[in-house]
């Protein structure tokens, strides 16, 4: 069997209805995993893509605005892969940023991520079963950005928690890593790509000379969940076309 195969594995992918989550869900299914697509909106389109690729998938409607929403999801369900992709963003100048926008982002992007990981790991540790966690971090896990204080804080937190959980769970056979995507062609970046000046300035900074594709992130997620990455623990892997190296 290929060291990159996920045959016999079962994954939960959060925020799997669109964008990166959708691409990751399809990528895992193509590699052989059974994929449960978790989101607060229908994942019908993702499931159609999985089926078209010959994979196996199902839907779980869940809203991570409640950070404890997944506390009972993993028990007895056979999961051994968790992809924490669901996230939100709010924009305002730091001097104007409100408490509600701070709390909403931190609940989904950081608190839910931790408690998802906790519930997943509790189940695997109790069973003595290995598994893989991949958290979706950001370039703003390393940079400050502007007008997104809670998002930046949450993504710095995701990077830190990834390392902490790797320290605690690596010896128990659970790989915990993160992916920090660069500028990817998704709905979230459509406005940037449609602005000639912003798009040009971004492309000039990316050594690869192109925007990333969702499939670039999906392939990295497959790798981090596979036997090929069995000795990779606590990494925050930049998939950014060289942005941070510039």
State the pLDDT at residue 189.
83
Q: Could you tell me what percent of the chain has a pLDDT over 90?
A: 96
> What is the C-alpha to C-alpha distance for residues 32 and 76, in angstroms, rounded to an integer?
21
Note whether residue 45 is domain-resident.
yes
Rounded to the nearest integer, the mean pLDDT of the chain is 97
* pLDDT tens column, 133-190: 999 999 999 999 999 999 999 999 999 999 999 999 999 999 999 999 999 998 878 8
Note whether residue 186 is domain-resident.
yes
Owning domain of residue 21: 10-238
Residue 174 near residue 126, CB atoms below 8 Å = no
Residues marked active site are found at 151
State the pLDDT at residue 172.
98
Domain of 136, CATH number, reads 3.40.50.720
Residue 6 near residue 28, CB atoms below 8 Å = yes
Residue 243 near residue 183, CB atoms below 8 Å = yes
Full DSSP string of 115-134: HHHHHHHHHHHHHT--EEEE
Note whether residue 182 is domain-resident.
yes
Note whether residue 48 is domain-resident.
yes
> What is the C-alpha to C-alpha distance for residues 14 and 19, in angstroms, rounded to an integer?
11
State the pLDDT at residue 192.
82
Q: Which residue has the higher pLDDT, 24 or 1?
A: 24
* pLDDT tens column, 70-122: 999 999 999 999 999 999 999 999 999 999 999 999 999 999 999 999 999 99
State the pLDDT at residue 135.
99
Total number of domains in the chain: 1
State the pLDDT at residue 191.
79
Note whether residue 170 is domain-resident.
yes
Phi, psi of 82 (to 5 degrees): -130, 125
Note whether residue 200 is domain-resident.
yes
Query: Predicted confidence band at 1 (pLDDT cuts at 50, 70, 90)?
Result: confident
> What is the C-alpha to C-alpha distance for residues 234 and 161, in angstroms, rounded to an integer?
9
Question: Which whole number is the average pLDDT over 35-41?
Answer: 97
What tokens does 135 get? Answer: 């958290």
Note whether residue 1 is domain-resident.
no
What tokens does 57 get? Answer: 């998938």
Note whether residue 179 is domain-resident.
yes
State the pLDDT at residue 243.
97
């Amino acid at each position: 069997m290929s060291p990159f195969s996920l045959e016999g594995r079962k994954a939960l992918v959060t925020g799997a209805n669109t964008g990166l989550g959708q691409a990751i869900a399809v990528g895992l299914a193509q590699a052989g995993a059974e994929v449960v697509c978790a989101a607060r909106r229908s994942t019908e389109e993702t499931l159609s893509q999985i089926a078209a690729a010959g994979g196996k998938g199902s839907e779980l409607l869940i809203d991570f605005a409640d950070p404890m929403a997944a506390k009972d999801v993993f028990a007895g369900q056979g999961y051994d892969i968790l992809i924490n992709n669901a996230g939100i963003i709010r924009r305002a100048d730091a001097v104007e940023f409100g408490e509600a926008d701070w709390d909403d982002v931190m609940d989904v992007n950081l608190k839910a991520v931790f408690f998802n990981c906790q519930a997943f790991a509790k189940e695997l540790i109790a069973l003595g079963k290995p598994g893989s966690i991949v958290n979706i971090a950001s370039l703003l896990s390393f940079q400050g950005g502007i007008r997104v204080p809670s998002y930046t804080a949450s993504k710095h937190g995701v990077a830190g928690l990834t390392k902490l959980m790797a320290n605690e769970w690596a010896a128990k056979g659970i790989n915990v890593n993160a992916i920090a995507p660069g500028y990817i062609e998704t709905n979230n970046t459509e406005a940037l790509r449609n602005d000639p000046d912003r798009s040009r300035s971004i492309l000039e900074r990316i050594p690869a000379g192109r925007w990333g594709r969702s499939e670039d992130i999906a392939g990295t997620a497959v790798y981090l969940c596979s036997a090929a990455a069995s000795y990779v623990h606590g990494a925050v892997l930049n998939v950014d076309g060289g942005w941070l190296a510039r």
